[in-house]
Amino acid sequence: MIVSRNGEPAYGGVGTFCKAPLALRPEELEGVDVAIVGAPFDEGVSYRPGARFGPRAIREADNFFLHPPSRPHMYLGVDAFAELKIVDYGDAECPPADLLASHAEIKARVTEILQAGVIPVVLGGDHSLAYPDITVVAEHFGKGQVGVIQFDAHADTAPNNIDRAAPHGVGMRRVVEEGFIRGEHFIQVGLHGYFPNPEDFDWMRSVGMRWYTAEEIDERGMAAVADELVSTARSEFPDAIFISFDIDVFDGAFAPGTGAPEPGGLTPREVLPALRRVFRELPIIGMELVEVAPAYDPAAITPILAHRCILEALSALALRRTGHEPRPQFSAVTA
């Protein structure tokens, strides 16, 4: 369903993602390559709430483009909207004040997307979203048959020993302990801060999880880390990999609008090329982007960055589908 007039500016009309067509029913997913779907809830946070406003803010963080959508990537030389059929699947019907019901709804929507053979891109919401997202992915591709690459400041591997429903600090532990993902098929990128506890790091090592801290990326350089990450995933991971992207992997300077900002994070110039490599070189079957809390960010630079992460991923996916090499828009000085 097209919900925009031709020539309508990004800031006008109805704000689907990049003014992509809106789809509300599973049968509208036929022939689609990628479906954006929102998960507006934040009842899983341990600190600042506000990520329920993330999906709408990310959709609205578009700049001066017009309908119909076109986003030619100046470095890859590909237009995601020309190569892929991308739709906005609206938001899951997350009811306020009921985290488990929100998880059930988002599971249902992501399952519909996967069953249609489409790549879901889920806009959180807080990071407790990982549990519903990753469990449905594992149910679809096979329990233990999915790899996860997580960009995050936080490992989210605390034990779920506080008797709460499903908060955002424990999702990765649960999906490993419950057998949805094997520890050795799990890599985390960008960890920093004082979480989790040493016993939790011991547990992570014992189940075979791997990670690159922000500190290590500083010491080795992101290009070298990305090389190793891609080659590990290629040789050891299953043929279906899910990306769990927490915006707080970035330093608070770049992403102030988030629930638990951690100083000493990564920069967009480190992360965006790495994210493109992952989408271009690995079999990515879905992605979530979580923890954007727009109320803390008056200039909207965090939703703009989240929007850009998705566009970069979709552009690289488009390039993978074409089989082309990148064709940068070089000028005479660099050609």
Partner 1 sequence: MSYRTPKHGRVVSREGEPAYGGVGTFCKAPLVLTKDGLEDVDAAIVGAPFDEGVSNRPGARFAPRAIRDADNFFLSPPFRPHMHLGVDPFAELTIVDYSDAECPPADLAASHREIKSRVSEIFEAGAVPVVLGGDHSLAYPDITAAAERYGKGQLGVIQFDAHTDTAPVEWGGELSHGVPMRRLIEEGHVQGEHFIQIGLRSYFPDAEDWDWMRAVGMRWYAAEEFDHRAPAAIIEELLAIGKSDFPDAIFISFDIDVFDPAFAPGTGSPEPGGLTPREVFPALRQLFRELPIIGMEVVEVLPTYDRANITPLLAHRIVLEGLSALALARAGRGPQPQLSNTKV
Supply the minimum distance, in Å, between the C-beta of residue 272 and partner 1: 6
Residues 6+ apart with CB under 8 A from 321: 33, 83, 84
Structure tokens at 148: 């996860």
Instruction: Round to whole Å and give the CA distance between 151 and 214.
Output: 10
Question: Is 213 buried (19+), middle (13-18) or exposed (0-12) by CB count in 10 A?
Answer: middle
Structure tokens at 155: 């490992």
Q: Which of 163, 235, 299, 323 binds partner 1 (CB under 8 A)?
A: 299
Closest-CA residue to 242 (of 324, 307, 171): 171
Supply the minimum distance, in Å, between the C-beta of residue 62 and partner 1: 9
Q: Which of 180, 186, 203, 254 binds partner 1 (CB under 8 A)?
A: 254
Q: How far from 62 is each of 80, 138, 165, 286, CA to CA, in Å?
A: 15, 32, 35, 22
* Cβ-based nearer residue to partner 1, 72 or 179: 72
Residue with tokens 């630079």: 301
- Kindly write out the interface string for residues 256-295 of this chain, putting x where it contacts partner 1 by CB under 8 A and - elsewhere: -----------xxx--xx----------------------
Supply the minimum distance, in Å, between the C-beta of residue 89 and partner 1: 22
Secondary structure (3-state) at 147: strand
Binding residues for partner 1, total number by CB under 8 A: 37
Closest-CA residue to 116 (of 55, 25, 181): 25
- Kindly write out the interface string for residues 66-85 of this chain, putting x where it contacts partner 1 by CB under 8 A and - elsewhere: x---xxxxxx-x--------
214 with 197: CB under 8 angstroms? no
* Cβ-based nearer residue to partner 1, 19 or 71: 71
* Cβ-based nearer residue to partner 1, 133 or 297: 297
Report if residue 48 touches partner 1, rule: CB under 8 A. no
* Cβ-based nearer residue to partner 1, 40 or 265: 265
Q: How far from 222 is each of 36, 233, 249, 275, CA to CA, in Å?
A: 28, 16, 13, 11
Using CB under 8 A as the binding rule, the residues of this chain from 201 to 220 that contact partner 1 are none
* Cβ-based nearer residue to partner 1, 63 or 115: 63
Q: Which of 116, 226, 304, 316 binds partner 1 (CB under 8 A)?
A: 304
H or E element: which one contains 306?
A: helix 301-322
* Cβ-based nearer residue to partner 1, 177 or 227: 227
Amino acid at the residue 159: P
* Cβ-based nearer residue to partner 1, 14 or 300: 300
Secondary structure (3-state) at 29: helix
Supply the minimum distance, in Å, between the C-beta of residue 125 and partner 1: 21
Secondary structure (3-state) at 66: strand
Q: 260 phi and psi, to 5 degrees? A: -140, 70
Report if residue 60 touches partner 1, rule: CB under 8 A. no
Of the ranges 61-69, 101-109, 207-215, 284-292, which one interacts with partner 1 (CB under 8 A)?
61-69
Of the ranges 9-17, 109-117, 130-138, 206-214, which one interacts with partner 1 (CB under 8 A)?
9-17
Upstream peptide bond of 303 is cis (omega within 30 degrees of 0) = no
Supply the minimum distance, in Å, between the C-beta of residue 8 and partner 1: 10
Supply the minimum distance, in Å, between the C-beta of residue 228 and partner 1: 18
Give contact residues for partner 1 (rule: CB under 8 A): 7, 9-11, 63-66, 70-75, 77, 251, 253-254, 267-269, 272-273, 298-301, 304-305, 308, 311, 328-329, 331-334
